Amino acid sequence: MSTQALTGLRDYLYGTLSTNDMMWLVGELQNYIRKEDLPKPYTKEELNAMIDASEADIAAGRVYDNDDVMREWEEELSRAEQKEMELAEAV
């Protein structure tokens, strides 16, 4: 929302809500902000474990290089285009 829209909403609420209702709304908004699921930062140990797992995948050959990804993507796009053409012909 824009600042102007929020200011308008605030002014509207200020003119229509009682002081108790405004205090209740503030409390509800604060609770909502606290409940928001913010990503938890990784610990150094977790980061090192992820790096170790990635290095093990690389050593075992469980990786895709750019050429593999692009080839699979182009194949998927080709299949999707073919399906669209088949659906268009069926109509």
| 74 and 57 housed in the same domain | yes
Structure-token pair, residue 33:
């902000």
pLDDT, one tens digit per residue, over 39-67 is 788 999 999 999 999 999 999 999 888 99
Q: Based on the domain organization, do 82 and 60 belong to the same domain?
A: yes
Q: Are residues 54 and 72 located together in one domain of the fold?
A: yes
Q: Contact at 8 Å (CB) between 30 and 22?
A: no
Both structure tokens of 82: 């073919």
Question: What is the spatial distance between Cα 83 and Cα 77, in angstroms, rounded to a whole number?
Answer: 10
Residues, the chain, total? 91
Tell me: do 48 and 86 sit in the same domain. yes
pLDDT score for 58: 92
Distance in angstroms (rounded) separating the CA atoms of residues 9 and 22: 13
In this structure, the answer to whether residues 86 and 48 fall within a common structural domain is yes
Please check whether residues 51 and 29 belong to one and the same domain.
no
- Which structural domain, as residue segments, surrounds residue 20? 3-35
Are 50 and 80 contained in the same domain?
yes
Co-location of 51 and 31 in the same domain: no
Question: Is 76 found in the same domain as 52?
Answer: yes
pLDDT of res. 11: 85
- Rounded CA-CA distance 77/47 in Å is 35
pLDDT digits (tens, 9 = 90+) for 7-38: 888 888 888 888 888 899 888 888 888 776 66
